[in-house]
Each structure stands twice: as structure tokens, then as C-alpha cells.
Amino acid sequence: MHSSLWSVPILVAALALPAGANGRAGGPPPERASRGPAFGVARVSVADGDVVLRRAGSGDEIQARAALALLAGDSVATRARSRAEIQLDVAGFVRLNADSELRIVELGSRRFRLEVVRGGASYSQLRGGEADVDLDVAGATVRPLKKGVYRIDVFASGQTTVSVRTGSAEVETDGGVEKLKKGKQATIQGDPADGRVLLAKAKPKDGFDEWNKRRDKLLERKPPNRWVGPSVGFGYWPPFYSVGFGYYAGPRFRVAVVHRGGGGRRGRY
């Protein structure tokens, strides 16, 4: 008798909960449902230094921080001596060098389109990656074809260089499609009327490449989780601080060595 009396208020309380309050069982949040199946969410996974997020539509600028969600149309920009990393899915990461800007054009479950507006960017596709990623620059689109590391630099002159550190990629312009293999570089003039792509050996790696390599090693060793909440779509962790990476969202590694000025610093990263 007592059991049946208690069940009534519990049932009423459950029915009164808003949709989605029970987690995944309640379905996607309203903004996700309204955009349909093509809607996706990326997030800032590292913000080292002065990193700014510009929201689509309003144009409002806020200071970017680790675990901040990004939607289609948003832009992320780094200032001097700053870097950022954006997680697209469980195996796809795009990183920005200092004084660079990236705009998110399209976000889907396995389909991403990004525009490198200025500065340097690097896209890493780790083991198990299955996403289709297009990286737009003035006059061309870069399509990574498999697991690898892809460096893009957009200069003030309008010229763009695309370097394949590992993997292979296609560079499509109005003049056709060129395939790039490991160690090769393509130079694009930036004028849509000039579809020429000049091929050459990639330039030597610099500090930005080494930073990307360290991040990839950490993530390959302990890859991020895929699911946590109904509105995130992939792993979420609280932000941590690392001497080598700034604020980041990810697994807290027990020991890592971050090289600075030829030396190393050992700690909890």
C-alpha cells in the first residue's frame, strides 16, 4: 500500500520534467533538433594565450577557453604568441598558429568544412578517423585523403602554401585537381582566375609543427572519449592547464615532457 502511494508523486514528477532533462533518452536539445541531421558541434580543446571566438550572426567576440562549443559560422582567431586547437570529432583536430584565423563553414556528424582565413593552420587526422574534411583557402580547397598531418599557411599577399607532413591530400582549384603526397608542398596564388598550382618539396618543419607533433602523440596515446552529453556529441573533460599547451580540455596525462628552448619540463599534463 505504501509503495503504491509513493509511486504516484514520483510518476507525476517524471512527467513534469522538460524534454531532454533525462539526458540522451529525452532526445536532442531544441537547437539541435531544429537544424536537422546536418547539425554538428565542434569545441575548443586548447586555448594557449590570447584566443578569441567570434560568434556567427551577432559578431560578438569573447575570450575562447577550453571546452567551449563552436557552431557553423563561428570564427576562432589567435593573437600574437598564442595558439589554439579545435576538436572536430574523436580523431580530427585543427590547430592555429599565432596571428591566425579559422572560420567554421559546415559541421556535420562526419562532414566538416573549414576556411583558413589567414595565418597558419594544421589539420591532424588520427587513427580511426572517418570524417570528410574540406579546408578552404582563397582559390582552392584542400581535401585530406587519409590519416595524416596537413599544414596550411595563408599569407597577407593572398598566396597560400599547403604542405603534407604525412598522408596524402587533393588540392582542387578552377584549373583542376592536384594530388599531394608526403613531403610535398603546393603553392596557390589565391586568385580564382589563376588556377595554377606550383608543386615543390615541403619546407622544413618549424616550432608550430613540433607543437602539433607533441599534441598528436598525447592524443594517440590516450584518445578522447566519444560521448558524454546529448548536446556535445563527443568527449567532454574539464579544462586543465599545461605549461606547454595552455588551457586545454582532454585527459589529464600523468607525465609528459614539454620542450622549451631545447630543455624539458616534467609535470602532470
Dist CA 151 CA 122 (whole Å)? 4
Residue 242 pLDDT grade (very low, low, confident, very high; cuts 50, 70, 90):
very low
In a domain, 255, yes or no: yes
Measured in Å, how far apart are the chain's first and last C-alpha atoms? 56
Beta-bridged to residue 180, according to DSSP, are 169
209 in a structural domain: yes
pTM of the model: 0.72
Q: Does 29 fall in a domain?
A: no
Domain-embedded: residue 90: yes
Does position 38 have pLDDT exceeding 70, yes or no? Answer: no
Rounded mean pLDDT of the chain?
76
In the predicted structure, residue 232 carries a pLDDT above the cut 80 = no
- Are 239 and 65 within 8 A, CB to CB? yes
Domain of residue 93: give its range. 37-100+205-269
Instruction: Calculate mean pLDDT across residues 13-39.
Output: 40
* DSSP-based helix, strand, coil % in the chain, nearest 5: 15, 45, 40
Provide the number of structural domains found in the chain.
Answer: 1
Does some domain include residue 232? yes
In a domain, 263, yes or no: yes
pLDDT-derived band at 194 (thresholds 50, 70, 90) equals: confident
Q: Give the HSE-up count for residue 198: Cα atoms under 13 Å, Cβ half-sphere.
A: 9
Predicted confidence (pLDDT) at residue 265 exceeds the cutoff of 90: no
- Asked whether residue 189 carries a pLDDT value surpassing 60, the answer given is yes
Position 59 scores a pLDDT of 87
Residue 231 lies in a domain: yes
The answer to whether residue 249 is domain-embedded is yes
